[in-house]
Amino acid sequence: MQETPQVATALADQTVLPDSSEKAASCLDNPPEETISIRFTNFVSANGHSFNFEPVVRTWSKKNKNLPIHIGRYTDKYNGGNVSAVVFRSKVVSRRHAQVFYEGGEWYVQDLGSSSGTFLNHIRLSPPCETSKPYHISNNDILQLGADYRGGEEMHYRCVRARIELNNSWRIKLSRFNLEEYNRVRSLISKATEGSKEDAPVSECCICLTPVLPCQALFVAPCSHTYHYWCIHPTLQKNHPYFNCFICRKYHDLSTPVEEGELELRELMKHATVVDKSP
Ligand SMILES: [Zn+2]
Ligand SMILES: [Zn+2]
């Protein structure tokens, strides 16, 4: 149950990098896993609203790996008794709504008999008030708790929609695609400033479906997907400081200071061979 970032794959396949670069980038895609972790971020669908919440991360060492994480509605009692619980102040979430747990190297979600249901990638796990069997969860699955009540006009009547990311997969890393897009943007800049007559590699803005060209104002998301600034700025303003990339659906916090992770990123860049296509 995983969405494929089709555009990203298609672009990444177009350019063949030298062996060393390919190798470096693929190593960086698979950092060693020392801890087990899970992150819940607010998933804002393109046409709907949802319950707003800050990103929630739970991390622990492998020896405690079988601890279930309870998910439910915020109450003083519940929250105080279980510090690892993930709680939401939404009335459509039951007090004991669901749990996620890690077993045999995989993550699972289970509805604990909620009244309004747990949905994994839009499929309801069990009838009202019945415990479900455990369902396997994959990176980037969408977990929904409950359904909007009274049209969800008020925040506390909205269902919770969360994207699930597993085992630090949200941390900074470089892929071939990131490096290629970095070079693509650099070559656009050099074409504009140095008047190079070579054809700049062209990518499309997924909103207006026209090419991204030199001298246009651009927005490059941390996932390296590029948009015309003019096309994306209404979305950026609406959800500031959060941005769900339309192409890969990755969640970004745009209020992250530049210094955060900069050293780590420089270190990653050192070990990756960046193909410099500028003249
Ligand atoms: Zn555009
Ligand atoms: Zn993206």
Q: Report ipTM (2 d.p.).
A: 0.93
Q: What's the pLDDT at 66?
A: 62
Residue 156: which CATH number? 2.60.200.20
* Tens digits of residue pLDDT in 115-152: 999 999 999 999 999 999 999 999 999 999 999 888 77
Give the position of tokens 């622990």. 60
Please check whether residues 257 and 202 belong to one and the same domain: yes
Residue 220 CA: which ligand is closest? 2
Please check whether residues 58 and 91 belong to one and the same domain: yes
Q: What's the pLDDT at 186?
A: 82
Please check whether residues 88 and 127 belong to one and the same domain: yes
Please check whether residues 178 and 228 belong to one and the same domain: yes
Residue 223 CA: which ligand is closest? 2
Domain endpoint, select from 115, 137, 166: 166
Domain endpoint, select from 166, 199, 221: 166
Q: Which two tokens stand for residue 249?
A: 């659906």
Q: How many angstroms is it from 263 CA to the middle of ligand 1?
A: 32
Residue 8 CA: which ligand is closest? 2
More confident of the two residues 117 and 186: 117
Q: Over the chain, what is the mean pLDDT?
A: 79
Q: What's the pLDDT at 45?
A: 67
Q: How far apart are CA 218 and CA 200, in angstroms?
A: 15
Does residue 276 form part of some domain?
no
More confident of the two residues 9 and 114: 114
Q: How many angstroms is it from 203 CA to the middle of ligand 1?
A: 11
Q: How far apart are CA 2 and CA 6, in angstroms?
A: 12
Q: How far apart are CA 276 and CA 184, in angstroms?
A: 9
Residue 218 CA: which ligand is closest? 1
Using 50, 70 and 90 to split pLDDT, how confident is the model at 10? very low
Give the H or E element holding residue 9. helix 6-14
Give the position of tokens 């949905």. 119
* Tens digits of residue pLDDT in 225-244: 999 999 999 999 888 888 88
Does residue 18 form part of some domain?
yes
* Tens digits of residue pLDDT in 30-76: 444 568 899 999 887 655 677 888 889 998 777 665 678 999 998 87
Please check whether residues 144 and 215 belong to one and the same domain: no
Q: How many domains does the chain have?
A: 2
Please check whether residues 201 and 259 belong to one and the same domain: yes
Using 50, 70 and 90 to split pLDDT, how confident is the model at 200? low
Domain limits for position 100? 35-166
Q: Which two tokens stand for residue 239?
A: 């959800």
Please check whether residues 189 and 263 belong to one and the same domain: yes
Please check whether residues 61 and 142 belong to one and the same domain: yes
Using 50, 70 and 90 to split pLDDT, how confident is the model at 175? confident
Task: List 161's β-bridge partners, or say none.
Answer: 144
Q: Could you list which residues have their CB under 5 Å from ion ligand 1? A: 205, 207-208, 228, 231
Q: How many angstroms is it from 121 CA to the middle of ligand 1?
A: 29
Residue 235: which CATH number? 3.30.40.10
Domain endpoint, select from 133, 166, 199: 166
Report CA Rg, the chain: 21
